[in-house]
Structure 1
Amino acid sequence: MKINNNNGLICLILVLSYHYNIFAHEKQMKTTSLQIDLNSTMDLAEKNSLQLKSSLDDYNSSNFQHTLSYFQFGPSLEASAETEWYLRRDAMNLNSNQNGDRSSSVTLKITQPISNIWKNYYNIKELEAKKDASAFDYTFQKINARITAAQAFLEAQQALNDLEIKKTTFENAAIQYKETSVLFETGDASKDKVDLLLSQANLNSVENDVNKAKIEYLNKLENLKKVLKLSEQTEISLKPLEYSFWEKQKVILKDLNILIQESKNNRPDLKSIEKNLFASKQEIAKNSFKFFPEISAFSTYTNTEIFNNESGLNNNSNLDNSNSSLNGLSFGISMSWSIWDGGLSLAERSSLKNKEIKNKLNYEEKNYDIIEEVKNNYNTLKNNLQILPQLIKLSEIYSESYKLSLVKYKTGNLTASELIKSQNELLNAKISLAKIRGDIDYNWLKLQSAIGTIPSYSNTRLIK
């Protein structure tokens, strides 16, 4: 019997092709494409930030503790219950004075603090300040999440700009090499072996730059996905940066002194330190009550039941076999005073004072840091805005120079090395222009965060 191997091979190819198509379709279904811009990137980072979620949880916890502190003004209620069993009274005459075999009691006690009411006032102020500090910390984390995402986005966009520019350069280099090869092979006197080799070396060099730019772009995309907390199946799509925010809208920044003053009024991290400083003062005031007596009013209700099991009694007729119940209500005032605790209260007070001093120093240092941050971002933005028109003009000049050099090269009036030099000058000018446009947008957002506002691509709060 003869088996047709060709038919079996065809069937195997068909089966593998079918399964491959299914796998490709499933992979396509799982992959999510996401096209984002600068604003949507910051919004997505704010939504997915783990630090921001943790900060929100801290705020909710502080808010809950502050709410519960108001209940400490009122009374506290305690309940207790116990049951006791006694040995039989006919065994060695034990428990002969007991009227029963078992007793159960229930006690309810209401205590109303008196001296601690004023102490709790400071406790409420302390917790309220900590709650406000947590709210400012949450805002600060929101600013950090947005500015970190903006930086990652602009770096990825910059890498994309470099890649596109180098791709265009590679296409031009390929055309130059092809034309040089044709002219050299046809015996054109204007193109010698040196021109051919330089054109080929330039093509290989630019191709290598393109491959490096691809890897850099992919790495920046992965970093952006990590910052945005996106899954591996998500594919991010970006567009090259054509113009910065400042080129689209002719705007003027406010004066530096005005922005510095606004930063002192708006910075959430500075306000958080200010609130923590206030909280530390309230904590010290609350701690002072440990050196004074605590006075409380109380009222206690007690119900006691005594049970007598006749089966466990002897024949002693003097014992009362009936059950009994006792009720009692009392009230009064209690006082406790820790006169000496081995210096624990003094040590705690010293620690709190040290905490207050650190908060004061931290507040002063943060003021200096904020002023420096605002000045640096303001001056960098202003400097980049002044350089931008020059780089635009320089890019136009090099573009025109390259076009003329290309014409002269084709006519034999320019060497390959001179053409390559003109090409590299245009490449560097385009890359510098794209970079400063990205830097301007980043400096603009960084200045917003330095002032203490939520970074946004179209924020006009800092504009006259």
Structure 2
Amino acid sequence: MKRIFKWMFFLPALVTFHMAGQETVLSKDEAVKAALESNYGIKISSNQVEIAENNQSIWNSGYLPSLTGLAGASYDVNDRTTDIQGEETIEQNDVENELYRGSLNVDYVLFDGLGRYYNFKSLKEEYNLSRLEARETVENTILQLFTVYFEIARLYENIDVLEEGLKISRDRELRAQYQYEYGQANNLAVLNARVDVNNDSINLIQARQQLQNTKRDLNVLLDREMEELGYVVDTTVTFIPKLQLENLIAQAAENNVRILQSESSIAISEYDIKVNRSGYLPSVGLTGSYGWNQNIGGPTAFFPGSTTTTTGLSAGVNLTWNIFDGGRTRVQTKNSRIVNDNQKLLKEQVELEVRRDIANALGTYENKLYIFHVQEENVATNLDNFNRTQEQYKLGQVTSIEFRQAQINLLNAETSLNLAKYEAKLAELELLRLTGQLLNVEY
């Protein structure tokens, strides 16, 4: 019986040691790098940025001329009858005519009321907006990443606590078994201890299963193999100094991605006003062409067949002025001004919401950090209480129920500390996201 209990005690430790020896550490920097390279949401946003970059290039600006090549050929066969007064009718059958032509045509808009200029600047601003949208996607993904990453870290630390609790419960069961064998306790103490061992084992199994599930969630974010679970995470947590955090909050209006997006939208709407106003001005275009034509004609009643070939250059200037377009330009200009006013109102709303969100996030962070420090003190108190209770239990001065309660209090305090630590860190990361500094700090 003693040998069986010894193996029950050492087997979980051996299995844990064996698994830890095979597991690799996935650091925070490695997780962030993998997310930036492999996350599907980030990939899609990167493709959107690439599309916007293509749109704002010189090739889509309208500043380059257009060159068109034209070519064609025609062939016809006809029967011809010619009646000449006082003379015999002339009949011609299968008279062939051929025509070949080719040309190169150049068109260039010299001036279009500056619409092209402001449209080009608008496309560049849309590219900047797409980059800000991609940055927002990255920030949200990184925050989601650390929510899962720190949950894995919390579960690892909880598993350590549960394993230590199970070890204590098994030691208590073994002690109760010895006492029962030597007649110092009844079988009820053994049964109570065994129930606690079973409960602790169930809690440990559930925590390990939850850990595996959470690792799969992280694998989805990092586009890793679903069953690639042989890794551990870094459980180290550090917090930004208060003074540095206050400086970051003070610069939030300049760095918050939502505020920057609203400013970019205002700039685009202002360009749209100017693009629409360009409809009031004339446009000037240049045209040029180089052509070649060959006409092979069949014989007529008076002339034999002939071949005519022509080549030449032509150039011209076109002036187009839509003096009145039914009021369309006027309506579009007025509407674009209204859109611009709305964008300015939206910016004011965003600034107000960001200030509120930062204030809420700062309050949440400070509370979480305070709870974390209180939980540290709580763990120290419960650890001291458990150690004293354990000594008294060994001396027979407290019951197994009192000992179990002290053990549960310590376990709850330690798991609450783990939760408080990672909740405080996530609250800090949320605050950094709102200040626009999430991608510029050490995690």
Distance 1:198 1:358 in 2: 70
TM-fit CA distance, 1:348: 5.6
Change in Cα spacing, 1:221 to 1:91, as seen in structure 2 (3 Å) is farther
Distance 1:71 1:259 in 2: 39
Q: Which one of the candidate residues 173, 178, 182 is aligned to 2:174?
A: 178
How far does the alpha carbon of each residue in 1:13-46 deviate from its partner, in whole angstroms, 9 at most, with x for none? Answer: xxxxxxxxxxxxxxxxxxx964212222122211
Q: Which one of the candidate residues 35, 39, 63 is aligned to 1:49?
A: 39
Partner of 2:193: 199
Structure number with the bigger relative contact order (C-alpha 8 A, sep ≥ 6) is: 1
> SS of the residue aligned with 1:458?
coil
How far does the alpha carbon of each residue in 1:61-115 deviate from its partner, in whole angstroms, 9 at most, with x for none? Answer: 222221225762343323322223233252689xx9xx97011222333223233
How far does the alpha carbon of each residue in 1:204-241 deviate from its partner, in whole angstroms, 9 at most, with x for none? Answer: 22122111111111111111111111013523411573
Change in Cα spacing, 1:162 to 1:342, as seen in structure 2 (3 Å) is farther
CA contact (8 A) 2:237 2:425 kept: yes
Partner of 2:297: 308
CA contact (8 A) 2:282 2:319 kept: yes
Partner of 2:183: 187
Change in Cα spacing, 1:239 to 1:72, as seen in structure 2 (3 Å) is closer
> Is 1:136 matched with 2:132?
yes
Change in Cα spacing, 1:232 to 1:70, as seen in structure 2 (3 Å) is closer
Partner of 1:244: 237
> Is 1:230 matched with 2:224?
yes
Using structure 1 for the length normalisation, give the TM-score. Answer: 0.79
Kindly provide the amino acid, as one letter, of the partner of residue 279 in structure 1. Answer: I
> Is 1:405 matched with 2:389?
yes
Kindly provide the amino acid, as one letter, of the partner of residue 116 in structure 2. Answer: N
Q: Which one of the candidate residues 317, 335, 353 is aligned to 1:369?
A: 353
> SS of the residue aligned with 2:150?
helix
Partner of 1:5: none
Partner of 1:154: 150
TM-fit CA distance, 1:355: 4.6
Distance 1:386 1:170 in 2: 30
Kindly provide the amino acid, as one letter, of the partner of residue 225 in structure 1. Answer: N
TM-fit CA distance, 1:194: 4.9
CA contact (8 A) 1:100 1:323 kept: no
Kindly provide the amino acid, as one letter, of the partner of residue 146 in structure 2. Answer: A
CA contact (8 A) 1:445 1:456 kept: no
Distance 2:331 2:82 in 1: 56
Structure with the higher strand share, 1 or 2: 2
Distance 2:344 2:296 in 1: 66
Distance 2:81 2:229 in 1: 87
Partner of 1:359: 343
Distance 1:357 1:393 in 2: 54
TM-fit CA distance, 1:331: 3.3
Partner of 2:25: 35
CA contact (8 A) 1:85 1:101 kept: yes
Distance 1:294 1:42 in 2: 52
> SS of the residue aligned with 1:104?
strand
Q: Which one of the candidate residues 285, 300, 306 is aligned to 1:296?
A: 285
Q: Which one of the candidate residues 258, 261, 268 is aligned to 1:272?
A: 261
How far does the alpha carbon of each residue in 1:259-293 deviate from its partner, in whole angstroms, 9 at most, with x for none? Answer: 33311111234323321221122123212334554
> SS of the residue aligned with 1:73?
coil
> Is 1:419 matched with 2:397?
no
Kindly provide the amino acid, as one letter, of the partner of residue 295 in structure 1. Answer: V
* CA-atom RMSD in angstroms: 3.1
Kindly provide the amino acid, as one letter, of the partner of residue 451 in structure 1. Answer: T
> SS of the residue aligned with 2:389?
helix
Kindly provide the amino acid, as one letter, of the partner of residue 237 in structure 2. Answer: S
Using structure 2 for the length normalisation, give the TM-score. Answer: 0.82
How far does the alpha carbon of each residue in 1:324-377 deviate from its partner, in whole angstroms, 9 at most, with x for none? Answer: 112344433334455777776677657655654553343233223322332233
How far does the alpha carbon of each residue in 1:430-458 deviate from its partner, in whole angstroms, 9 at most, with x for none? Answer: 11112222223323332222211244663
Q: Which one of the candidate residues 353, 373, 378 is aligned to 1:389?
A: 373
Kindly provide the amino acid, as one letter, of the partner of residue 272 in structure 2. Answer: E
Partner of 2:86: none
Partner of 1:285: 274
Kindly provide the amino acid, as one letter, of the partner of residue 372 in structure 2. Answer: L
CA contact (8 A) 2:114 2:278 kept: no
TM-fit CA distance, 1:201: 2.4
Distance 2:82 2:415 in 1: 105
CA contact (8 A) 1:221 1:236 kept: no
> Is 1:68 matched with 2:71?
no
TM-fit CA distance, 1:406: 1.6
> Is 1:261 matched with 2:250?
yes
Distance 1:192 1:33 in 2: 44
Change in Cα spacing, 1:399 to 1:57, as seen in structure 2 (3 Å) is same
Kindly provide the amino acid, as one letter, of the partner of residue 73 in structure 2. Answer: T
Instruction: After the TM superposition, list the runs of 4 or more consecutive aligned residues in structure 1 that deviate by more than 6 angstroms.
Output: 339-344
> SS of the residue aligned with 1:238?
strand
Distance 1:62 1:352 in 2: 22
Which range is displaced more, 203-212 or 356-365? 356-365
CA contact (8 A) 2:27 2:234 kept: no
> SS of the residue aligned with 1:318?
coil
Q: Which runs of 5+ in 1 are unaligned?
A: 1-31, 460-464
Distance 1:341 1:192 in 2: 103
Which range is displaced more, 130-139 or 422-431? 130-139
% identical aligned pairs? 16
Kindly provide the amino acid, as one letter, of the partner of residue 357 in structure 2. Answer: E
Q: Which runs of 5+ in 2 are unaligned?
A: 1-21, 84-91
> SS of the residue aligned with 2:102?
strand
